[in-house]
Amino acid sequence: MHVAALGDRPPVPPGISRLPGPGEKVVSPALARLLLSVPDGELDDRYPGAVVGEIGPDGLLMPDELVAVVGHTPDQLRAMRGATEIRGIEQPDARADLVGIWGVFFGMIAVLVVGPIAIFVAMTARIGGPRREVRFAAARLAGATRLQTAVFAATETALAAVAGAALGWLAFALLKPVVASRVTLGHGMPIFVDDVRVPLVPLLVILLGVPLVAVGATLVAMHPVQLAPLGVRHRQRRPAPGLWRIAPILAGFGGIWYSTVLSRDDVSEASTVEQATVQMVSTFSVLSVLVGFFLAGAWVCMWVSRGMARLSRSVTSLMVARRIAADPYGTFRMVGGAAIAVYVATTLGFVAAANQEPGRSDNQTLLAGGRPVLDPGVVAVHVQGATQDEVAPLMSAGVVVARRSPEGEVVVRCTELARVTTLDCPLPVYREGVAAGQDYLRVEDLFTVPAPGASSADLTFQPSALAEPAPGADLLPIQTLLIPTDGTVAAQERVRTLAARTLPLSRSKTSDDLAVGPILDVTAFSSAVPYAMVIILIFTACSLTVSVITGVLERRRAFAALRASGVSLGQLRRVVLLETGAPLAITVLFGVGLATVQSLATFTPDEWTLPGGEFVAGLGRACWPRSPCR
């Protein structure tokens, strides 16, 4: 950025204390290190003047950003083509808030994660229930009330939840550099570690809400073991689950469809209140579907028991059907954690599939057959309309001149272009679905200024087509010079330095520049799916392990009586496996179906895409009966 002060108090860009004067420059820390590591003729001479300071984090998006603010006199800058007089520099009043940009997405993730956590806490509380019965009975005999026994259980869980929340926050603090290294905002460089932070209000909600959710889940889970002093409890048969339990699911689908329709009507131009309404409706709709799934699970298990009873051909399956019918609520508690985890995974899979742009990606666009379009050692200098006299210092034998027509075409002779690129004649023309179209995309990326994938605010020029020179083409403005060198990095950088000194507004590229794509964009949601699937697998394994152990412990007396009556150990194993496997398979299919319908209500038909094979394989691993989690 070339600047010249026009007064005693000129506007100052963020990150620096004063505007550099003539013969001075202020550079970013990364550029300062780079200037010391290479010869002046390859880099430092591009930015005249002595380094008098460094740009602070407030003036940079990323720590590795290469920025220089070069000072001049007003007369020097007026003579520079493209210079503009300004009266102020916008000062950012706040950092970019991804929570505001991705509010609906983060809200959905929070809802989808908190639900399984509550179920998992409830199951882990129940696994200690049989052991707690003895302690609670002793406490009741000693005079403890039901409230006091509940406080005992809640205190144990609260202490563990507080410790877990503290450890989770510590893990987040330690992993912040890893998170920052994976978020690039589309620029290909990681952001500052300090920019990865949680707003205060959501942070307090999480740190305080997780222990409260854990305590509440424990109290609900421990309700059946609130014993009388002699360990006697009265069981009361609960009514069969009703059809009303799917009502929250239908209401959630309606809300999702409503919020999606609003967002498709360009909600970005709506008022802040309307945007907040859409986010709130979307979040509560996803929560409604999740709550509905949890409520409808027992109803699904009831129909599983009826189907098994009708189709039963053995004593084992009939016993399982009777047990599920006797307590469909408890059956779903056993498999609910795994089923909801799979529902969450499927939802994330559909979101990732819909957000993955079909067609050309950055790396596919910039590379074809593993080769960039420019030959090694060739420097493409975009001069953008500079006169013949201005580009004279850059002209030498072998330079290919590409011009720009009023229609936005790049006018260049194909035989000359083939000398400095990997292309063959004739000039490529883009055709959808034709192999030659890829060649055109590669050339388009070469001539796009400043770079392929730039935002509309940054994009200066993108060719509409390629054309052979016609009579009078020499009078067209020059767009790009393709300058061959001896292929060494030093020679290429000297050409770029000469271009920067001759035409400060010029942009240059080499084959190495075109071969580098973004590391990871924060919008590349599909790249996070494998990590999410690992978490889902771990959660499913723990959930099923807890549920099976809990079921065996709670029925140890019943199993002992069955063994005494002549039931074999193999039959008991089949009972445990079938009692868990059958409801799990059906509820998992139910969750996958809900996630599919939810995605259909969220995305338009042209955006809706099935997840890829990797996701299906991970999902099958989570549900396969003989997987390690069983």
DSSP 191-243: --GGG----HHHHHHHHHHHHHHHHHHHHHHTGGG---TTS-----PPPPPPG
Q: Is residue 84 part of a domain?
A: no
Q: What percentage of the chain exceeds 70 in pLDDT?
A: 72
Amino acid residing at 65: E
What confidence tier does 224 reach under pLDDT thresholds 50, 70, 90? low
Claim to verify: residue 385 and residue 508 sit in the same structural domain: yes
End residue of a domain, out of 206, 231, 256: 231
Domain total in the chain: 4
User: Long-range contacts of range 180-185, CB-CB < 8 Å, 24 or more positions apart?
Assistant: 182/520, 183/520, 183/522, 184/62, 184/518, 184/519, 184/520, 184/521, 184/522, 185/61, 185/62, 185/96, 185/521, 185/522
Contact 493, 408 (CB under 8 A): no
Tokens standing for residue 101 = 């940009």
Residue 570: the pLDDT is 84
CA distance 71 to 268: 39
Highest mean pLDDT among 473-487, 506-520, 605-619: 473-487
DSSP 3-state percent helix, strand, coil across the chain (nearest 5): 60, 10, 35
Q: Which of 201-215, 218-232, 242-256, 409-423 has the lowest mean pLDDT?
A: 218-232
pLDDT reading at 331 higher than 70? yes
Q: Which of 105-109, 291-295, 385-389 has the lowest mean pLDDT?
A: 105-109
Claim to verify: residue 53 and residue 121 sit in the same structural domain: no
CA distance 566 to 226: 33
Read off the pLDDT of residues 69-91 as tens digits, 9 standing for 90 and up.
Answer: 999 999 988 887 778 888 888 76
Residue 5: the pLDDT is 92
What confidence tier does 629 reach under pLDDT thresholds 50, 70, 90? very low
DSSP H or E stretch at residue 624: none
Contact 583, 332 (CB under 8 A): yes
Residue 340: the pLDDT is 78
Residue recorded with tokens 């004063």: 18
pLDDT reading at 241 higher than 80? yes
Q: Is residue 92 part of a domain?
A: no
Of 264, 240, 287, which is closest to residue 114 (Cα–Cα)?
287
Tokens standing for residue 236 = 């009361």
pTM: 0.56
Q: Is residue 549 part of a domain?
A: yes
What confidence tier does 102 reach under pLDDT thresholds 50, 70, 90? low
Q: Is residue 83 part of a domain?
A: no
Residue 371: the pLDDT is 58
Residue 366: the pLDDT is 36
Amino acid residing at 72: H
Residue recorded with tokens 């039959």: 571
CA distance 72 to 5: 8
Claim to verify: residue 297 and residue 395 sit in the same structural domain: no
Claim to verify: residue 132 and residue 27 sit in the same structural domain: no
Claim to verify: residue 620 and residue 581 sit in the same structural domain: yes
Q: What is the CA 565 to chain-centroid distance, rounded?
A: 56
pLDDT reading at 285 higher than 90? no
Claim to verify: residue 61 and residue 128 sit in the same structural domain: no
pLDDT reading at 625 higher than 70? no
- Side-chain-side CA neighbours of residue 546 (13 Å): 23
In sequence order, the 6+-apart residues with CB closer than 8 A to the CB of 376 are: 487, 511
More confident residue, 452 or 425: 425
Tokens standing for residue 514 = 């075109």
Tokens standing for residue 127 = 């696994």
Q: Is residue 172 part of a domain?
A: yes
End residue of a domain, out of 78, 112, 135: 78
In sequence order, the 6+-apart residues with CB closer than 8 A to the CB of 252 are: 285, 286, 287, 288, 289, 290, 291, 292, 598
Task: Provide the 8-state DSSP code for 400.
Answer: E
Residue 166: the pLDDT is 87
Claim to verify: residue 487 and residue 548 sit in the same structural domain: no
Q: Is residue 236 part of a domain?
A: no
More confident residue, 463 or 32: 32
Residue 139: the pLDDT is 76
pLDDT reading at 627 higher than 50? no
Of 127, 128, 209, which is closest to residue 168 (Cα–Cα)?
209
DSSP H or E stretch at residue 155: helix 146-182
Q: Is residue 382 part of a domain?
A: yes
Secondary structure in 3-state letters for 75-104? HHHHCCCCCCCCCCCCCCCCCCCHHHHCHH
Highest mean pLDDT among 22-36, 174-188, 235-249, 554-568: 22-36
Contact 308, 132 (CB under 8 A): no
Claim to verify: residue 48 and residue 123 sit in the same structural domain: no
Claim to verify: residue 373 and residue 349 sit in the same structural domain: no
CA distance 329 to 296: 10
DSSP H or E stretch at residue 463: none
**Cβ count near 326 (within 10 Å):** 12
Q: What percentage of the chain exceeds 90 in pLDDT?
A: 11
Claim to verify: residue 58 and residue 108 sit in the same structural domain: no
Highest mean pLDDT among 32-41, 157-166, 232-241, 304-313: 32-41
Contact 304, 335 (CB under 8 A): no
Contact 364, 441 (CB under 8 A): no
Average pLDDT, the chain: 77
Highest mean pLDDT among 31-45, 100-114, 230-244: 31-45
Q: Is residue 94 part of a domain?
A: no
DSSP H or E stretch at residue 381: strand 378-386
Claim to verify: residue 549 and residue 510 sit in the same structural domain: no
Structural domain span for residue 139: 102-231
Claim to verify: residue 507 and residue 615 sit in the same structural domain: no
Residue 367: the pLDDT is 37
CA distance 506 to 497: 11
